[in-house]
């Protein structure tokens, strides 16, 4: 197994945002290489830190790394998807309320850097993109088996790719002669589908949006996100914090709107003098605007450039 490393994004901001309590119970929903978790564990006086990840490599490497951390706190690793966090916690016999939850929705440095995982458009690798390598659905299946309309929808809705139809059409044309097996083949298709003179003027790679869209589809990253945030907020003790790091506008919009609705769920017309719907706030916002990386952090970790941290506190 390759070394599983992860340079934590917005680390100090997350530690401050969690407002760690002695003896508290904390959940890192996206354990990865334990970049955030190792620093949380160092600062916990007693209590419990729980880490969830769907990647078996992450679980193994993070567990080994955290064993080396000097701490009086207990660490528990759970393999699975954080969208299923309540069930995972119950199955592990953890029924205490949580004092803080951290979700880092970015792809880990390890998953990007290990060529064979197929997440990166910079390297030639098998089309994979599975965060949980035990699941059957991969990017290869989507690219080779889904219809032109379904591919267009995925690229448009999950990648915000304005050339979605053209890319889907070229994919379907190319796969008639032979299966599309590798990332370099897909990059070549995208290059052929997007007119060079009409490409994004922001300097981004032309394949970035397509690879993002396929990764989201493979790993079902967006559809369960709102309900997961609500379920995690329900697990928090009063005063507990929910911290979420997003990396693109689609997930950030879901987090922002869900937090806003949990903080102000009233559906009464604005003309009503008092609330009669009975819906009460569940959280209060800690951050009114997302926290972003400092220039100093960006100099060390350019991948933090698109990170947004939003925080709410349980009422």
Mind listing the pLDDT tens digit for each residue in 66-123? 999 999 999 999 999 999 999 999 999 998 899 999 999 987 766 666 788 999 999 9
pLDDT of residue 203: 66
**pLDDT above 70 (res 127):** yes
pLDDT of residue 202: 62
Cα separation, 277 vs 273, whole angstroms: 12
pTM (2 d.p.)? 0.92
Backbone angles phi, psi at 263, to 5 degrees: -80, -25
- CB-CB contact of 93 with 78 (8 Å): no
Mean pLDDT of the chain: 93
More confident residue, 107 or 141: 141
Position 2 confidence tier, pLDDT thresholds 50, 70, 90: very low
pLDDT in tens, 166-217: 999 999 999 999 999 999 999 999 999 999 887 766 668 999 999 999 999 9
Cα separation, 39 vs 24, whole angstroms: 15
Instruction: Report, as an integer, the average pLDDT of 52-78.
Output: 93
On the question of a common fold for 11-105+223-314 and 114-219, the answer reads no
Give the residue extent of every domain in the chain.
11-105+223-314, 114-219
CATH superfamily of 11-105+223-314: Vaccinia Virus protein VP39 (3.40.50.150)
Cα separation, 25 vs 74, whole angstroms: 9
Q: What kind of architecture, by CATH, is found in domain 114-219?
A: Orthogonal Bundle (1.10)
Task: Give the percent of the chain with pLDDT over 70.
Answer: 95
Length of the chain: 315
The Cβ-side half-sphere exposure at 162, using a 13 Å CA radius, reads: 4
Task: Give the percent of the chain with pLDDT over 90.
Answer: 86
Backbone angles phi, psi at 164, to 5 degrees: -55, -45
Instruction: Report, as an integer, the average pLDDT of 244-263.
Output: 97
User: How many other C-beta atoms lie within 10 A of the C-beta of residue 56?
Assistant: 13
């Amino acid at each position: 197994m390759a070394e599983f490393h992860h340079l934590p994004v917005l680390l100090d901001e997350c530690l401050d945002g969690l407002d760690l309590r002695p003896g508290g119970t904390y959940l890192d929903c996206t354990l990865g290489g334990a970049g955030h978790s190792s620093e949380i564990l160092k600062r916990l006086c007693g209590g419990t830190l729980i880490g969830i990840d769907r990647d078996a490599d992450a679980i193994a490497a993070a567990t080994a790394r955290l064993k080396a951390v000097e701490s009086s706190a207990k660490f528990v690793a759970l393999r699975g998807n954080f969208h299923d966090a309540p069930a995972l916690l119950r199955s592990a016999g953890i029924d205490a309320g949580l004092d803080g939850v951290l979700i880092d929705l970015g792809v880990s440095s390890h998953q990007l850097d290990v060529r064979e995982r197929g997440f990166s458009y910079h390297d030639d690798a098998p089309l994979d993109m599975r965060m949980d390598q035990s699941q059957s659905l991969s990017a290869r299946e989507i690219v080779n088996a889904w219809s032109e309309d379904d591919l267009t929808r995925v690229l448009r809705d999950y990648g915000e790719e304005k050339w979605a139809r053209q890319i889907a059409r070229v994919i379907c044309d190319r796969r008639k002669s032979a299966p599309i097996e590798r990332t370099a083949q897909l990059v070549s298709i995208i290059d052929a589908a997007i007119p060079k003179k009409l490409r994004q003027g922001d300097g981004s790679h032309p394949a970035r949006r397509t690879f993002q869209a396929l990764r989201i589809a493979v790993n079902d990253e967006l559809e369960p996100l709102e309900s997961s945030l609500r379920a995690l907020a329900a697990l928090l003790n009063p005063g507990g914090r929910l911290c979420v790091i997003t990396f693109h506008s689609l997930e950030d919009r879901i987090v922002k709107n869900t937090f806003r609705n949990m903080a102000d769920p009233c559906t009464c017309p604005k003309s009503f003098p008092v609330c009669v719907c009975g819906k009460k706030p569940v959280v209060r916002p800690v951050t009114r605007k997302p926290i972003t990386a400092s220039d100093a952090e960006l100099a060390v970790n350019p991948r933090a450039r698109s990170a947004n941290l939003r925080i709410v506190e349980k009422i």
